[in-house]
Amino acid sequence: MASKRRNDREMHLPRGLERDLTRVSIWRCGTLLMLLAAAWYLLAACSPSATSPTRDSAASAQTTVAVPMTQMAPSKTPSLPPTVTPNPTPEPTVTPVPPTATPSVTPSPTPVPPLIAIDAGHGGRDLGAVIVNERGRIDVTESNINLALAIDLEGILLERGYRVFMVRKGDYELNEERRDVNEDGVVDYVDELQARVDAINEAGADLLLSIHQNSFVWPDGSSAPDVGGTLTFYCADRSFSDKSLRFAQLVQAEILAAFQELGHDIRDRGVLRDTEFRTAANPDAYLILLGPETKRIARPSQMPGILSEPLFLTHHEELALVKDETARRRLSVAYADAIDAYYASLDHANEPSDETSSE
C-alpha cells in the first residue's frame, strides 16, 4: 500500500503545469488544422505561380511556435495572384458567297487569209497567141506560158500563207460542153469567160489576177520582133475600182522591176482601162472578167481584179526570157510581191490617222 501511494504521488502533476500542457495541446491542434486548410486551398487554386506549400508551411510553423495561442493574430488567407483566363480568339465568321458564274470567253476568230483567184488565160482548144519556129511547128503557146506562171505563183502564195483558187490547173476549158453560159443566144468565147467568172464568184475570191501575154504582127502578117512592153488592165466602172487600180499599179511596178533585174529594159506601156477596145459598133465593150453587167456580161465578177500582159511573145528577147524557167519564176515572184503590197496598203488605209486617234 505504501508503494502504491508513492507511485500516485510521483505521477501527480501540479495543477499549473497541467493547465499549461493542456493549452499547448490545443495550440498544436489549431496550428495543424490551419496548415491543412492552407494546403487544401493551394491545391484547389492550382495556380502555377502559387508559393510552394511545403516551404510556407515550415516557415509558418517556425513563426507560430514562439507565440502563445492567446497572443496569436488571426491567420490571413495568403493572397494569390489573379489567374488571367485568356480570351479565346474568335473564329472568323465565314459568310457564304454564292458561286459566281464564270463568263464564257468567246475566242476571237482566227483571221482567214485572203483567197486569190488566179486565171491562166486561154487553155484547151483556145491556144491564145502562138509562136511558130523556122520549121513551121508550134514552138510556144500563150496558154501554156500562162499556166506555167500561174502554177509557179500558186506555190509562192501558198508558202506566204494565202489561199489560192486556180481557175484551171491544166490544159482545158471550163465550158467544154459549149453551153450558152451567159444566155445571150450565142455560144462563143464569151461563154467560156462567163463560166470562169461564175467559178471565181462561187469560190468567194477576194482578189482576181488574170495572166495573159501579148503579141503583135503587122497588118500584112509580117513579124514585129522589136515591139514589146508590159501593160496592165483594170475596170474603172466598178464600185471597187479604186482597189483594182491600186492593184494594177502595184503589178505594173513589180513586173517592170523584175525585168530590170533580168537585164531587160522593157517598155512601160502603163496601166490602162479595159475600155481601150471600145468602138462605135461596140460601145459597151469591157473585158469579160473585169467589167460590170452588160448584154454580154450576165454575172460580173464581185471582187477587185486586173488582167496582166507582162510581155510580147512576138518580141525575140522577151520570148527568150519567158521560155527560161528562172525568168518565169522571177515574174511569178513579182506577182506575189504585188499581192503582198496590195494587202499591206489596205491595212495601212484601215489604220486610224493621228488626227483621228487624238480625237
**Per-residue model confidence (pLDDT) at position 44:** 64
Which has the higher per-residue pLDDT, 92 or 117?
A: 117
Give the range among 38-47, 57-66, 202-211 with minimum mean pLDDT.
Answer: 57-66
Residue 302 has pLDDT above 60, yes or no: yes
**Per-residue model confidence (pLDDT) at position 68:** 44
The string of pLDDT tens digits covering residues 3-38 is 444 444 445 545 555 555 556 556 565 666 777 766
Domains and CATH numbers, the chain: 21-45+54-68 (no CATH), 115-351 (3.40.630.40)
Block residue for cell numbers 488567407: 77
Is beta strand 130-132 parallel, antiparallel or unpaired with respect to 207-211? Answer: unpaired
**Per-residue model confidence (pLDDT) at position 349:** 74
Spell out the alpha helix ranges (H) of 46-141: 53-65
Mean pLDDT of the chain: 82
**What string of DSSP letters covers 74-98?**
PPPPPP-PPPP-PPPPPPPP-PPPP
Residues forming beta bridges with residue 120, ordered by sequence position: 211
Which has the higher per-residue pLDDT, 311 or 99?
A: 311
Contact 233, 291 (CB under 8 A): no
Closest CA to 252 of 309, 213, 205: 309
Residue 353 has pLDDT above 60, yes or no: no
Which has the higher per-residue pLDDT, 227 or 52?
A: 227
**Per-residue model confidence (pLDDT) at position 43:** 67
Which has the higher per-residue pLDDT, 245 or 285?
A: 245
Which has the higher per-residue pLDDT, 64 or 314?
A: 314
From CA 169, how far away is CA 330, in angstroms rounded? 20
Instruction: Give backbone dihedrals phi and psi of 272, rounded to 5 degrees, phi first.
Output: -120, 150
From CA 31, how far away is CA 50, in angstroms rounded? 21
Beta-carbon contacts of 24 under 8 Å, excluding residues fewer than 6 positions away, are none
**Per-residue model confidence (pLDDT) at position 352:** 62
Letter for the amino acid at 283?
A: P
Enter the C-alpha cell of residue 265: 529594159
**Per-residue model confidence (pLDDT) at position 282:** 77
For residues 187-200, average pLDDT: 97
Instruction: Give backbone dihedrals phi and psi of 271, rounded to 5 degrees, phi first.
Output: -100, 125
